[in-house]
Structure 1
Amino acid sequence: MNPRRLTPSMSLLVAFEAAARHCSFTKAADELALTQSAVSRQVQALESQLEISLFKREGRKIELTAAGALYQHELSAALGRIRSATLQTIAFKEEDGPLNLAVLPTFGSKWLLPKMHEFYALHPRNLVHIHSRIIHADNPSSVGDMQAIICAGKGDWPGYVSHLLLQEKLIVIASPKALADNPGLSLDDITQHLLLNVVSRPNGWSDWFDLNNLDHQKMRTGPSFELTAHLIQAVAAGIGIGLVPDILVQDEIESGTVVKLFGPTQSGRNYYLTCAARYQHFPAFKTFSAWLLSLPS
């Protein structure tokens, strides 16, 4: 088959995609700043090149054929990727362009955001758009097409470039109210309390029991929370005892809302600033990463 037939010109494809989206040559013409007849001619030229009808025409009404609907579905996604790639490429000339950053919600609010005023003091023209995301430790791509990601894991994600920010250390916390009758809580006393959990760390307490040679059969598993911030609030309310990263609960410890019982211990996970390899030279990422990695750990 002639390769030219399989690669119609962009003007024909754009005209068809707009007409298919609106089911109207007139609305497509308005969007593209063309005349209705020009859009109609471009769609006819595309149909002639493909040798198939993409629209059913009844008077002034148009409706996609089955082939046209399939073509629109595939073409819309392809044109979307082309437009996105073009915007990203244009952004490379903007040294102070914005950065889209996905970050774990509690880490963002507890650790990153209190420091961002320092970044803006040094780089007042650079904007960082922060998107709170639940990020899977084994799959940072789950957040979608972000130019930068801060997540926890082992940092060995194929296709990503990762920079170590912090080693994660876990501590056991409780509400002072929960310890009123037993302020000198021992390791064995842990088994008398509900153990609160974060869903992204299902084996957290099991690993901690192993580390401290405690009997798993005595473990009182409590409710799970999607956000570490919610777990901390539950601990403060006296619902149970929590196992949390120490950097996420410093404010509550200093205020006396919760107290540290045991730890810290290494979790085996660390926090990383990472990005898909294609973004590693993106000017906004280079500016932000240079600042972030210069902070004391």
Structure 2
Amino acid sequence: MNPRRLTPSMSSLLAFEASARTESFTRAAQHLSLTQSAVSRQVQTLEALLGVPLFQRIGRRVVLTDVGRMYLRELTGPLERIRSATLQAIAFQAGGGTLHLSVLPTFGSKWLMPRLPGFYARHPEVLVHIHSRTYLDLDLSGMDAAIVVGDGQWPGAVAYQLVAEEMIPIISPRQARRDKIRTVNELLRYPLLQVVTRPTAWRDWFAKHGYAGDALKLGPQFEMTSHLIQAVSAGMGIGLVPKVLVEDELQAGTLAVPVKVNSDASGNAYYLVVAANRESYPPFAQFRDWLLGVVGDAH
């Protein structure tokens, strides 16, 4: 098939879209700052190119045919992405733009969100779109950057450490007062709640604290750490979580640490990660510099 038939002009597509939204060539012409006859000709050119009618003419109204509705549905997303990309390109002149950031859900809500107003105060011209993800996939997910947990080694990416990960057990204060747990082995009496993405977390933690047995009473799994935290608060069992995610609850007394043990650095940390070829993207560079400044001020 002739490639020309598969790539209509933007003028024809915009005339079609505006006419479909307003059901009127006249109103579409006003929206596009064209004459009514110009819009009508563009739509007719598109219909001739496709070989199908896109509208039914009913008096002064135009109503989409079945094919026209399908065509509008498929075009809407690409046209919006073109407009968004154009706005971003224009915004670059003023130092603005958008950043699509993938963030681990609980870290995003507990750590990043309370700090994000500080970024907007400094860079109101940049929009940060937050996407919750439990995995890192910069190439396939359409993200500019991500905040993830790991060892800092991701091929083809540049990683900036934010917060070291220290794992701690947590329990509801009511259970802590009632049971008065004194040793690590006493935790074996309780359901040990788990996060799906950390299936060996409890076994690793117990091994580091001198227990190498397999008599763990593993409890329900949760996809999100925030749900596990809520389950612990409700008294469903004991959780093992990064300390940075529960500092507010520990300070407020809505969660407790059941047994005092030495600090347990997991060897992992939270990182801001970007594909190597996106490191100089201006909105990312501004966000990175601000975020590393926030981390530096906290130390």
Normalising by the smaller structure, the TM-score range is 0.7 to 0.9
Matches within 5 A, 1:156-171: 161-171=158-168
Q: 1:39 to 1:197 in 2, by over 3 A?
A: same
Partner Cα separation in structure 1 for residue 54 and residue 120 of structure 2: 52
Q: How many residues align?
A: 293
- Structure 2 SS opposite 1:151: strand
Partner Cα separation in structure 2 for residue 14 and residue 239 of structure 1: 57
Equivalent in 144, 148, 156 of residue 151 of structure 1? 148
Aligned twin of 1:273: 272
Matches within 5 A, 1:1-297: 2-95=2-95, 99=99, 101-116=101-116, 119=119, 123=122, 125=124, 129=128, 131=130, 133-139=131-137, 147-153=144-150, 161-180=158-177, 182-209=179-206, 213-216=211-214, 218-256=215-253, 257-259=255-257, 261=259, 262=261, 264-267=263-266, 269-275=268-274, 279-294=278-293, 295-296=295-296
Q: 1:88 to 1:274 in 2, by over 3 A?
A: farther
Amino acid in structure 1 at the alignment position of 2:31: E
Q: Deviation digits for residues 25-72 of structure 1, max 9, x if unmatched?
A: 344334323343332111012223344433333444434445434433
What TM-score, normalized by structure 2, do the two folds share? 0.76
Q: Deviation digits for residues 111-158 of structure 1, max 9, x if unmatched?
A: 33454576567x365556463x5312243678x655443233466667
Q: 1:128 to 1:197 in 2, by over 3 A?
A: farther
Partner Cα separation in structure 2 for residue 22 and residue 159 of structure 1: 47
Q: 1:118 to 1:72 in 2, by over 3 A?
A: closer
Q: 1:260 to 1:272 in 2, by over 3 A?
A: farther
Please list every run of 5 or more consecutive structure 1 residues that lacks an aligned counterpart in the other structure: none
Partner Cα separation in structure 2 for residue 203 and residue 39 of structure 1: 63
Q: Deviation digits for residues 231-274 of structure 1, max 9, x if unmatched?
A: 33443454321100021222333444412634644546532223
Q: CA deviation at 1:285?
A: 1.9
The answer to whether the 8 Å contact 2:172/2:234 transfers is yes
Q: 1:117 to 1:9 in 2, by over 3 A?
A: closer
The answer to whether the 8 Å contact 2:172/2:256 transfers is yes
What TM-score, normalized by structure 1, do the two folds share? 0.77
The answer to whether the 8 Å contact 2:54/2:68 transfers is yes
- Structure 2 SS opposite 1:259: coil
The answer to whether the 8 Å contact 2:149/2:268 transfers is yes
Q: 1:118 to 1:55 in 2, by over 3 A?
A: closer
The answer to whether the 8 Å contact 2:103/2:134 transfers is no
Q: CA deviation at 1:82?
A: 1.5
Partner Cα separation in structure 1 for residue 53 and residue 117 of structure 2: 58
- Structure 1 SS opposite 2:132: coil
Across the aligned residues of Structure 1 and Structure 2, the Cα RMSD in angstroms comes to 3.7
The answer to whether the 8 Å contact 2:24/2:61 transfers is yes
